[in-house]
């Protein structure tokens, strides 16, 4: 298990968990003010069990990912809170 921000271009992984504010959150948790990044990721379609493909990761700045048929530009800080299992 490793953060999405460390995946290289072309790699794919399955979302295992999304952490917000260094506290582990349960899947389907209700959105509260301190869990904004968790809710924001789910609103973009990044949920537990989804397969994510990294389209572009240049090592700094935002990265481009593909979830289902959507392309999403994701800030590096947010990407470091999303943990995947490499497939």
pLDDT given at position 16: 95
Domain assignment of residue 76, given as a range: 2-86
Query: Position of tokens 């994510």?
Result: 52
Q: Give the pLDDT confidence of 9-67 residue by residue, as tens digits.
A: 999 999 999 886 544 444 444 555 545 556 778 888 899 999 999 999 998 889 999 99
For 26, the token pair is 């349960």
Cα distances (Å, whole numbers) of residue 8 to 16, 23, 27: 18, 26, 26
Q: Spell out the residues 6+ positions from residue 40 whose beta carbon is closer than 8 angstroms to its own.
A: 78
Q: How many domains are there within the chain?
A: 1
Q: What residues form DSSP beta bridges with 13?
A: 52, 86
User: What CATH number does the domain containing 57 carry?
Assistant: 2.30.30.90
For the full predicted model, state whether its pTM sits above 0.85: no
Give the C-alpha separation, 82 to 36, whole Å.
Answer: 13
Distance CA 70, CA 27 (A): 21
């Amino acid at each position: 298990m490793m953060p999405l921000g460390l995946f290289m271009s072309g790699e794919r992984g399955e979302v295992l968990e999304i952490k917000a504010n260094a506290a582990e959150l349960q899947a389907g948790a209700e959105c509260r003010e301190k869990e904004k990044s968790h809710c924001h990721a789910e609103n973009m379609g990044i949920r537990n069990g989804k397969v994510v493909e990294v389209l572009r990761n240049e090592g700094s700045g935002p990265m481009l990912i593909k979830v289902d048929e959507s392309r999403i530009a994701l800030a590096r800080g947010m990407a470091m809170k999303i943990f995947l299992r490499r497939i």
